[in-house]
Chain A
Amino acid sequence: MLKTIKKFLGLLGLGACCLMLAPSGAAAHGEKALEPFIRMRTIQWYDVQWSREKLNVNDELVITGKFHVAEDWPRGVPKPDATYLNVSSPGPVFIRTERYLNGQSSVSSAALKLGGDYDFKIVLKARLPGRYHLHPFFNLHDAGAVMGPGHWFEVAGDPATFTNQVKTLNGDMIDMESYGLANGVAWHAFWIALGSAWLLWWVRRPLFLPRYKMLQLGQENALITPLDRKIAVLMLAGVPLFVFGAQAMTDRQYPNAIPLQAGMDQIEPLPAAVNGLVKLKVQRAEFNVPARSLTIVAQIHNASDQPLQIGEFATANVRFLNPGVGPSREGDKDTLIAPQGMSLDSADPIQPGETRTVRITATDSLWQRERLDGLIRDADSRLGGLLFLYDANGQRHIASVSTAIIPTFN
């Protein structure tokens, strides 16, 4: 057995040495594994921004953004009756100090409405130094984590200086990092000591073979002594008395203790930000697999009073831009942007009141890199996204895109 173990250890050591390559930072949190139809047709994120990239321990980081809840919610995904706006980070390297949905403070879960528009703000406080990749994301009950765009942050400083002081309704300031720890450890130590004493009381005696033999010989009464019985009686009376006594004292110490709070936040959607003055109806959508290119033929109606140009198509955090339309993206480090990714059959603006059939093409390797080209293998082969249109004054209009998708393989 020893030889085998030695061989095993040797092999394992060798393997471990081979693996000791310098790690590069992970840039994502598994979002690519979620089926494209869920990423495209549930939470449609946009305008996500971060207040800063470099922080010190205790500094605040504010993440803001907007999202549209797709109308064309996939049949296989439970409706968003219980959702939680979360942050994907490598554990609590930041703490979340505030969170707002549509300007309303929210610390619990909430239901979202299909077709609803929301904005959010999350305030984080740096806890541990390091370089981290963070995303806002939604936990959707029974559906999984739908990630928003991610970003790198660098936290410097001394972790020992981190503080998280909270004022209770009793007026006490408590340190969340250590609150209740010493008390909890002391109680556990006390009971473990008592339990260990009981175990040692028995295991110091000859155990299995002698006791089994004594039982076989009918001498079992000798195995429990009068002193054992006295101790057991003492324990039987003493432990409950002590427990209930400690409980009564604790009740007196914390007379205002309340139950855990289990309510849900009630958040109403904002006035419609998507599908307002621009109406869109898709006539056909094709995905050219080898070209990594989506072509949408859509009828667009402009009900605004200004001519509009199509500037961007966004789906599952990937943004295909029509160069020269919309705000400048110069210097934008977002790796999910295809700056030249969109082309149109006509560059002419859609005039006020006009209904025009437009051919929109979104082409980039991001389809493949983000594993969105797998949409043709989904059981629910439909596509969703947001189309952004701009007038000459920079005013933005958003229309949601929802369509079945036809693959082409040549």
Chain B
Amino acid sequence: MTSTDLEIAQPYTGEKARLSRAYDYLILVLALFLFIGAFHLHVALTVGDWDFWVDWKDRQWWPLVTPLMMITFPAAVQAVLWTHFRLPLGATLCIACLLIGTWIARFFAYHLWNYFPINEVLPATMLPSALVLDAILMLSDSVTVTSIFGGMAFALLFYPSNWPIFAMFHVPVEYGGAQLTVADLFGFEYIRAGTPEYLRLIERGTLRTYGQVATPLSAFCSGLLCTLMYPAWWFIGKAFATTRFVQKI
């Protein structure tokens, strides 16, 4: 970026510029903890189990549910930051905050306090999807275009983004006379009282019409739902960002 870019985007000088910058920092700190706290709670309680455990990351429900629930806050935050500030970073900000919260919890809670190996509780990443979502909104400046192409890309990129992290946990092992993945073996060996095997919502249901190639179908289904979820959450974000004052509540 050249110095001209800064000058163009800065109507304030002197003390007012310093004041506005101080305000920026206050808001950034506020937003950082807000989105770690709020978005992480939303994700943990809607797709948490798939994200917590390596033996929940299946090819059917994980790629369906995760993008669907993770496109929510990014859309709502973009509705404010893009519309009113032309800042194309809402999605990346939310997902980055989520990952900060997730990694802290996995390390200090699951690993240090409760002895689970970190590799059993590796989180998934949606950062590639978020970067593309921000870029599409910025280049198109259109909720419709971002809903269709951004929403679809957000979901379609999820599984391939995470496959390089988790493929190696799908290597087969023979155990107790049966074929398991390494991920399944983590669930069996590392004892957890509250999440027995039968609780896993994996590889069930009727998304098998493409034979054994379930993942692309799940991803496209998620893409369709994300194209609907994105505008819904854009308007939720817009609605919450009302500037109204009322006399009575």
Contact = CB atoms under 8 A, between A and B. Distances in A.
Complex A–B touching at CB under 8 A = yes
A199 B92 contact: yes
Nearest to A87: B191
Contacts of B96: 192, 195-196, 199
Contacts, number: 313
B235 to A, nearest CB: 20
B189 A208 contact: no
A174 B169 CA distance: 11
B175 to A, nearest CB: 6
Which of B10, B17, B116: most chain A CB closer than 10 A? B10
B58 interface: yes
Interface string B106-132: 000000001111110011010110111
Interface in B115-157: 115-119, 122-123, 125, 127-128, 130-132, 134-136, 138-139, 153, 157
A81 B147 CA distance: 43
Interface string B40-77: 00000000000000011111000000000000000000
A235 B198 contact: no
A211 to B, nearest CB: 4
A211 B179 contact: no
Contacts of A220: 86
Interface of B is mostly: helix
B189 A96 contact: yes
Contacts of B21: 206
Interface stretch (A254-262, A298-306, A384-392): A254-262
A89 B181 CA distance: 24
Contacts of B226: none
Q: How large is the interface on A (under 10, 10 to 19, 20 to 34, 35 or more residues)?
A: 35 or more
Contacts of B184: 107, 260-261
Contact of B160 (A139, A244, A254): A244
Given A83-B198, A225-B1, A262 B127 contact: no
B229 interface: no
A384 B128 CA distance: 57
B201 to A, nearest CB: 10
A91 to B, nearest CB: 4
A239 B132 contact: yes
A223 interface: yes
B165 A208 contact: no
Contacts of B179: 169, 258, 261
A232 B180 CA distance: 42
Given A211-B87, A264-B198, A180 B131 contact: no
A236 B132 contact: yes
B193 interface: yes
The 8 closest A-B pairs by CB, nearest first: A84-B196, A105-B176, A247-B160, A109-B198, A139-B196, A257-B170, A82-B198, A262-B203
11 contacts: A86-B193, A95-B189, A139-B199, A169-B173, A170-B171, A180-B165, A180-B168, A202-B89, A206-B10, A227-B2, A254-B167
